[in-house]
Chains A and B, each alone.
Chain A
């Protein structure tokens, strides 16, 4: 069983994507390197566009990774590094779109749609209740008499 689990984990690990970060780019300080990886994962490769610079083999992505590491080593905070890259390439370089006026609809749109749907659903079911209510109205005198007649017939 243990062997099986080991094999299973090994299979999972072996399916991890290959790393684009070259060994000679990696910083010696593991804390700084971890920050660099973190920043790189959020920055779009401008050549391939749907990969992060952390994943991309493009030469521009490599140069950007090196730049990120240089800035971190020079003492920049994560935010300062990201702000610098955005000042050169615009918000598009961020894989996760920031929350600002241009992306308001993008961030709040789904929430509004869900709210709208909920309201519509509530209204719809409330109204249906009203529609079904008259159907269970009390029987009229004539109907009651007819029911009594039928029951009497049955009892005979």
Chain B
């Protein structure tokens, strides 16, 4: 009996470890912990983009309404993919979308890009040195944050948002958050 244990115990240990590794292999190590969900939006004050009416974009602007904050850059290929969907949201006036124009080398690059492809944003701020992006925990563009009336981040999406994500997650969540009181 004891002798058999010598073979069974290592086998069991191996099987438990193999199980852990097998599950680990199915997980995406690039998926980061989401630190911001449930937290108030970080303090930030960004200058406006050239040629836009707004005077900039700051954290206080996010209080009072359910909004999307979209991180984009004219250099970002996936943002180009996402862009038509943001335009569609804007045309149907479904939710205000604000922008953090992230890491433009040239101050006119972002505004030119918006002029060329259309401007879906209500407010837009210029973030050349990642000041706001880092405080939002952004790792790549596009990233989108759903902010409630109190200015608390309720949902974060890495990568382009699309019709499917809108239908399954964003639309119902926005409807829910709109029912919440703003104080």
Contacts and interface: CB of A to CB of B under 8 A. Distances in A.
Contacts of A66: 129
Nearest to A91: B33
B13 interface: yes
Dominant secondary structure at the A interface: helix
A47 B139 contact: yes
B130 A89 contact: no
B103 interface: yes
B137 A88 contact: yes
A85 to B, nearest CB: 8
Contacts of A113: 13
A145 to B, nearest CB: 37
Contacts of B139: 46-47, 60, 89
Contacts of A63: 103, 129-130, 133-134
B30 interface: yes
B30 A49 contact: yes
Nearest to A89: B137
B140 interface: yes
B110 to A, nearest CB: 15
A89 B35 CA distance: 6
Contacts of A49: 29-30
Interface string A79-95: 00000001111111000
Interface of B: 2, 6, 9-10, 13, 29-30, 32-36, 42, 103, 129-130, 133-137, 139-140
